[in-house]
Amino acid sequence: MAQHGGGRGWYGKAMGAALGVTLLATGASVWTAQAGAVDSSSRAPAPATRGGDIKPVAATIAHASEAGARGVNITIDDGPDPVWTPQVLGVLREYGVKATFCMVGTQAQAHPDVVKKVVAAGHRLCDHSVSHNTAMDKDSQTYQSQQILDAERMITKASGGVRPMYYRAPGGAFTPYSRKLAASRGMRPLGWNVDTKDFERPGTDVIVATVERELPGGPTLLFHDAGGDRSQTVEALRRLLPRLKEQGYSFGFPVR
C-alpha cells in the first residue's frame, strides 16, 4: 500500500498552534482501479458549482476519469500556495490541461487571490479539510464534520462563490460518515491511484518514473503544490504532460 506524504511536518507547525489540532501521520490506503473503469456513479448529476441547490452525489470513492478509458486525472493537493500554485497553473495552461485542486481550508482563506486564479483557469476545486489532519478518521463525527464543512465554506468564500466538487480526506483518512457527509454536500469522495511521492522531493526523474510505472493501475495522479519547495513537481508536470499526450492519453476530471 502506498502512503500519501502530504501533511507531515509543515502543517504540524503552521496549523497545529493556530487550530489546537495535533497532527498525526498515519499510513494511507490507496484504492486501485483500472484506468477508465466503468463507474456507475459517473452518471450522477453534477451540482451547480456556483449558487443554486446542492445536489447529493455518490458516496463511494472516485478514481475513474470523465475522459474515458485513456483519461488521466491530474490532482494537486495541499495548496493553494502563493509561490508554487501559479507555477503549476502556468504549466497546465501551457499544455492545455485541466486539473483538480484539493485545497486546505486555511490555505484557501489565506490566499483567496490564488483560489480565484485556479477557478478562472477552468480547474475544479476539492475540499481537503481545514487543517490536513491525517488521523481525522480516528476523531469524532463532530470533528470530522467541522473539518469538512468549515473547509467547504472557506474554499467557497475564497473562490468568490464556487463550491468544491470533491472531498479528499487528508492521507486517505476517509470514514463512512465523512464520505456520506461530503456526498450530501455535492462533493464526491476522491481517491488516487498513483502517489507520485513528490511531497518527499525524491527528484524529478523519480517522480516521472513513478507515474509511468504505476499509471496502468489507475488514472488519478496525486501531486502537491504546497508544503515546501515544489520545483520538482513543476518540472515533472512539464515533462509528463506532453509525454502522456504523445502516448494517446487525454486529461480530464474525476467522475462525479
Q: Is residue 193 part of a domain?
A: yes
Query: Is residue 39 in a domain?
Result: no
Q: Structurally, how many domains does the chain consist of?
A: 1
Choosing from 77, 127, 137, 198, which is the catalytic residue?
A: 77
Whether 224 sits among the annotated catalytic residues: the reply is yes
113 is a catalytic site residue? no
Q: What is the dihedral of CA 158, 159, 162, 165, to 10 degrees?
A: -80
106 inside domain: yes
User: 20 lies in a domain?
Assistant: no
**Can you say how many angstroms the Cα of residue 68 is from the centroid of all Cα atoms in its chain?**
19
Chain segment 137-195, per-residue pLDDT in tens: 999 999 999 999 999 999 999 999 999 999 999 999 999 999 999 999 999 999 999 99
Residue 7 lies in a domain: no
Residue 25 in any domain: the answer is no
- Residues 170, 133 contacting (CB under 8 angstroms): yes
**Crossing angle, helix 176-184 and helix 141-159, to 10 degrees?**
30
Q: What's the pLDDT band for 46 if we cut at 50, 70, 90?
A: very low
Q: What's the pTM value of the predicted model, to 2 decimals?
A: 0.83
Q: Is the pLDDT of residue 105 over 70?
A: yes
Judge whether 21 lies within some domain.
no
Residue 103: CB atoms within 10 A of its CB come to 32
Q: Centre a 10 Å sphere on the Cβ of residue 40 and count the other Cβ atoms it contains.
A: 9
Question: Residue 108 has which C-alpha cell?
Answer: 484557501
Residue type, 95: Y
Q: Give the model confidence (pLDDT) of 11-29 as tens digits.
A: 443 433 333 332 222 223 2
Assign residue 153 the CATH number of its domain. 3.20.20.370
Of 128, 137, 224, 225, which one is the catalytic site residue? 224
Is a pLDDT exceeding 70 seen at residue 251?
yes
Least confident interval from 29-33, 53-57, 112-116: 29-33
Expressed as residue numbers, the domain containing 237 is 58-63+71-252
Give a yes or no: residue 33 inside a domain: no
- 3-state secondary structure (DSSP) of residue 239: helix
